[in-house]
Amino acid sequence: MIDTELAAFLQEGIAIQIGTRNAVLEPNGARVVAVKVEDDGQYVVAYVPKAAAPQVVPDLEANGQAALVFARPPDERACQVKGVFVDARAARTSERSFVADQWDRWLKRLAGIGYPAAAVENWQTWPCVAIRLRVTALFNQTPGPGAGAALA
Amino acid sequence: MTRQHSGVDERDFGLESMASCFQGLIPATLFTCSRDGTPNAAILSHVDYVDSTHVALSFQFFNKSRRNIAENPHALVRLLDPDTSQGWRLRLRYIRSETSGPVFERMALRIEAIASYSGLKGIFKLLAADIYEVLSVEKAEDESARSAAAAGRRPAAADAVFTMKALQNLSDRIHRATSLEGLLDSILEGLEESFGFGHSMILLPSDEEGVFVTIASRGYPENGVGAEVRLGEGIIGLVAEARKPIRIAGLIRQLLYAYAVHKRAQEAGMCPPDRQIPLPGLPNPESQLGVPLLVRNELVGVLCIESEMPYRFHEEDKTTIELLGSYLAIAVQNMLLQERFEAMPEGTATPPGQKGAAATVTRPASPRREVAYYTRDECILVDGEYLIRSLPANILWKLLRRRDAEGRVEFTNRELRLDRSLNLPEWKDNLETRLLLLRRRLEQKCSDIRIVPRGRGRFALELGCSVTLVERP
């Protein structure tokens, strides 16, 4: 579902959040440190700080519904990936450098728009919980006309 | 405020103490859920503070978040404090949508100002202010605040900018002013010295309906006197139109967001390519404040203050800003009336037809300038460069012609008032403002031609050059 160009965009180091909901349809959400697109764009692994994982993992285990939003300043290109939960596990040590590299690219982008990396020095970026989702839909979310249109 | 979620820091936390989170400096994220249970996440440009238990979200497009809220009132907003980087979760319940009233108007004006700068008027607009009850406020466990020392920035609580002492200092300056020019300059100087606002300008109504002209500025490389703004254009035009203060923080980021909309709208053929209006003043202002100068609902002018700090002006300053605007408006109006009154008595000026003091004789070696008056456009160009138009242009042309024909150098405001060819209105002709504008434009663009005050209601036209007068259609 996710083509090569879109996969590169999603993994280039941008703002990412994951949204879920509970049994009474109350939304929950958490920051995502990095994502990995797998299996020809059929799956996405979202790396969520361990401290934030309790915000979303119970919902995912209960009903499986997830939405990932991606946004890139300064051009504000944005999209949303809808998915269903596959599994969640502790991120492996071997994945740490991949996650850290993507997060560092995001910090450099933030610095480019005037938000210094030091501002988020106390944020947790590791350990992470790796949440695997099967992609079910893609939507454009760049502000303006066309926002909300299906991408695939 | 009830706390429904466990395992997090759920202190009682009034929204009023989170002011910096509501400045729109860093985008928030809105999480919603449809009736069938599909979650949605979207980036939000702004979360507006309404009161200690309510926030407002802007409804600009019929997007998925909006449709979800219509089906299911529960929402979650994740916010960041730009001072400390502490992340917050606000659990919300949709209450109602407002399409009028103070919250809507405040949000709509800010969005319109951004739209105006981006050529998006009519496209990038507020459809409604969606009001949400805040059910709980929770700290994001993974997004801890920096220590205050590490942050090295302002604490979350706003600096007290508009203190009584600062207001008193400004008031003292204003009372010392003896002319309109002195008053306007002392207002801008006072704003810098008492409040720290180093970049500011004052615009007054021009002769043309719905057009405002810069009469004084401070802190810019070019003084910009004579620059015009039309009603509804940018923050100044919107302040004049709405007659309400407008405060924008994080302007650059909001403009980037608007430009993204503009690009998409342009691609969709929804707006012409070249409607952007250049930002006034600072090349990259981070925050702007526009204040209407109102006296009994009459708009005397607009004060615009800019800052390179992302949020220099705070919501809690709003009442003081409005009060300050009224005070400045009264001071400007009183000075206009005083100058008009002082210009009325006869006998102090050089009578028409009589040459004034010959202190300003053209120097033999002085340069020659061509002053061209274009009758159809009522504008003057000096050596081919635009100087001024409309009434100030007509006044200058008349003065130059008389000086040329009669050798006069001194003139009175009164004789200009009585000159029917200038078509001054009988009441509130703003002649003194026009003369000040003319004088400052000359200082800026052609310092060889000077208008020099010579006491109450009198002035001299001094030339440091030879002048060739040319009248063109």
For the whole model, what pTM was predicted?
A: 0.66
- Can you tell me the distance from the alpha carbon of A29 to that of B221, in angstroms, rounded to the nearest whole number? 47
Residue B318's identity, in one-letter code, is K
Output the pLDDT for position B344. Answer: 64
* CB of B200 closer than 8 Å to CB of B192: yes
Q: Which residue is listed with tokens 């860093």?
A: B26
CA distance A152 to chain B (A): 17
Domains of chain A (ranges plus CATH)? 4-140 (2.30.110.10)
Pairwise CB contact (< 8 Å): A120 & B31: no
- Shortest CA gap A12–chain B (Å): 18
Provide, as residue numbers in chain B, all residues whose Cβ is less than 8 Å from the Cβ of A25.
33, 35, 37, 72, 74
Scanning the structure block, which residue is given the tokens 């503009």?
A: B262
Cβ proximity of B129 and B107 under 8 Å? yes
pLDDT mean over B60-68: 84
Q: How confident is the model at residue B23 (pLDDT cuts 50, 70, 90)?
A: confident
In DSSP notation, B294-346 reads: EETTEEEEEEEEEESSTT-S-GGGHHHHHHHHHHHHHHHHHHHHHHHHHT--S
- At residue B382 the predicted structure's pLDDT band, cuts being 50, 70 and 90, is very high
Other beta carbons within 10 angstroms of residue B409's beta carbon come to 23
In chain B, positions 1-60, which contact chain A (CB-CB < 8 Å)? 7, 26-27, 29, 31-33, 35, 37-43, 45
Most confidently modeled range among B338-347, B421-430, B451-460: B451-460
| Chain A CB contacts of B7 below 8 Å | 54
pLDDT band at B278 (very low <50, low <70, confident <90, very high): very low
Q: Does residue B10 have a pLDDT over 80?
A: no
- Angstrom distance (rounded) from CA B69 to CA B94: 7
Cβ neighbours, 10 Å, residue A37 = 22
Outline where B369-445 has alpha helix (H).
390-406, 413-418, 431-445
All structural domains of chain B: 15-150 (2.30.110.10), 164-250+286-341 (3.30.450.40), 368-472 (1.10.10)
| B150–A contact, CB cutoff 8 A | yes
Tell me the pLDDT tens digit for each residue of B319-338.
777 788 888 999 998 888 88
Query: ipTM of the assembly?
Result: 0.96
How much is the pLDDT for B153?
46
Predicted confidence (pLDDT) per residue in B387-429, tens digit: 998 899 999 999 999 999 998 899 999 899 889 888 887 777 7
Instruction: Give the Cα-Cα-Cα angle A114, B43, B13 (nearest 5 degrees).
Output: 85
The partner residue sitting opposite A73, judged by closest CB among B75, B256, B265, is B256
Nearest one of B6, B22, B16 to B250, comparing CA atoms = B22
Tell me which residue has tokens 């009154």: B341
What does the pLDDT read at residue A12?
A: 95
B159-210 pLDDT per residue, tens: 566 777 888 888 888 888 888 889 999 999 988 888 888 889 999 998 888 8
Q: Could you read off the pLDDT of A59-85 as tens digits, one per residue?
A: 999 999 999 999 988 778 899 999 999
Q: Which residues of chain A have a CB within 8 Å of the CB of B29?
A: 17, 19, 29, 69
| Interior/surface letters B193-211, b for 16+ CB within 10 angstroms, e for the rest | ebbebbbbbbbbbbbeeeb
pLDDT band at B343 (very low <50, low <70, confident <90, very high): low
Q: What mean pLDDT comes out for the span B360-387?
A: 79
